[in-house]
Amino acid sequence: MHLDPTLTGAAMLAAMLIFLFAGMPIAFALGVAGVFGLAMTRSWPSLEFLLSTFPYSASSNLAYIVLPLFLFMGYMAFAAGVASRAFDAARTWFGAIPGGLPISTVFASACFAAVSGSSVATAATVAQVAIPEMLRHKYNQRIAAGCVAAAGTLGVLIPPSGILVIYSIATEVPITDLFVAAFVPGVLTAVAYMVLLYFWVQATPAVKEATVLPPAPWRERFRAVGQSWEVIALFALVMGTIYLGLATATEAAAFGAAGALAIVVFRRKNRRAIIWRGLVDTGVATSSIFALVIGAGLFGLGLATTQIPQNLASWVAGFTLEKWQLTLFLILPYLILGCFIDAISMLLLTLPVVFPVVVHAGINPVLFGILVTKCTEIGAITPPVGLNVFVVKNTVPELALGECFKGAIPFVLIELALIGLLIAFPQIVTFPLK
């Protein structure tokens, strides 16, 4: 029995929400709701064929191999201690200015983000190194925890970003374009964080007087840079080859994974256990993400048969809105949803509905991807989920959770200002694209 397409779409959405509130994993909630929609709009033989072939076809694209490769690179970079050496190098250069340690923390986070692609991994890794050091030098918990939680979000924007890979998988926007376009906004975000921390410390006299470190000798500064060569090498292997057109994103991911593996082999004694743990963790994370991809794909197919995304696109196009107004209208749900669910699930839940509207309205899909990624940054440091904040708190248990969230508020305001800047001046994102 086939239902009216609109009723089928409404029933799919209702079923998905019921499954989610009942505690069903998001991947299965999406998949079951999608199968229901397909069953209501297709014949049984075609549904049987689709279910037997779609999981493979949805996950067998060779371009998707960048995901496990970048995940593995991040695990190896973490095990090799890349973040701690980047922090030490930054401290020798910035420690003598007000807010030097938090500024060094942002710099180290940006460096680790460039070889990990993960917000949570960046926050957890840098928190272990930077927060005890900041607390020892009399920074208050608000500044110490807030800067680490916020700087960790650079892991989802500075390439290679796992969230951009997911966005590319869900929308078929070329990952190379997304990586190239994300670099300037990523650097701009890091610089904005550093400027905020400088003035924040300047406005807090007690902190300012207690926290300025003596200048490091120039020899020590250059020695520290030399000891953190892994970040430069891995970034050159991955993003350098992409920017120069020497490698595709897939090839660059393979170079990065091989380079990170080599660093572990030459840097660590218990290399066999580290590599095995990295392979296991990479396999678990990849399997979880691809389960979401398959579930979201089935949900998207079921929703497409109801014509709801197409009708929604036509309805939105009927509004007499400027393109910037429509862009702002479309990203508002991401600002709200990001406070409640994780970034990957949010993208795979919403893009089947929202992305057709983006294409129909003529909004640059690369720009929209960067803006959505910025929204996920905000979601990572705002309650009630605020995953980065909880990661920082769990990494350094003596921190007060309330102080961690309060410390993140100024960075949320910076993020909102940057989103407004990117919407007003989209050339910041699009100028490197051909």
Q: What is the pLDDT of residues 371-412, one digit of tens each?
A: 999 998 898 898 877 888 888 888 888 888 889 999 999 999
Residue indicated by tokens 């926290």:
211
* Residue 414: per-residue pLDDT: 95
**Residue range 107-142, pLDDT digits in tens:** 988 888 888 777 878 888 888 888 988 888 888 899
* CB-CB contact of 263 with 73 (8 Å): no
Specify the DSSP class assigned to residue 217: P
Residue 90 has phi, psi (to 5 degrees) of -65, -35
pLDDT higher than 80, residue 105: yes
CB within 8 A of 61, min separation 6: which ones? 169
* CB-CB contact of 95 with 103 (8 Å): no
Which of 149-153, 206-210, 368-372, 408-412 has the lowest average pLDDT?
206-210
Structure tokens at 270: 């218990």
* pLDDT interval class at 106 (50, 70, 90): very high
CA separation for the pair 35, 279 (Å, rounded) = 32
* pLDDT interval class at 233 (50, 70, 90): confident
Q: How far apart are the first and last CA of the chain?
A: 49
What percent of the chain lies above the pLDDT cut of 70? 94
Cβ atoms < 10 Å from Cβ of 219: 8
126, 330, 403 from 383: Cα distances, Å: 21, 22, 12
pLDDT higher than 80, residue 329: yes
* pLDDT interval class at 223 (50, 70, 90): confident
Q: Which of 382, 380, 376, 381 is nearest to 333 (CA)?
A: 376
* pLDDT interval class at 309 (50, 70, 90): low
CA separation for the pair 249, 386 (Å, rounded) = 30
pLDDT higher than 60, residue 1: no
Cβ atoms < 10 Å from Cβ of 246: 11
CA separation for the pair 6, 306 (Å, rounded) = 6
* CB-CB contact of 124 with 391 (8 Å): yes
* pLDDT interval class at 186 (50, 70, 90): very high
* pLDDT interval class at 58 (50, 70, 90): confident
* Residue 210: per-residue pLDDT: 62
User: In what helix (H) or strand (E) does residue 321 lie, and over which residues does it extend?
Assistant: none
Specify the DSSP class assigned to residue 3: P
Structure tokens at 60: 């067998």
pLDDT higher than 60, residue 217: yes
How much is the average pLDDT of 77-93? 81
* Residue 318: per-residue pLDDT: 66
* CB-CB contact of 381 with 153 (8 Å): yes
* CB-CB contact of 92 with 106 (8 Å): no
What percent of the chain lies above the pLDDT cut of 90? 17
pLDDT higher than 80, residue 315: no
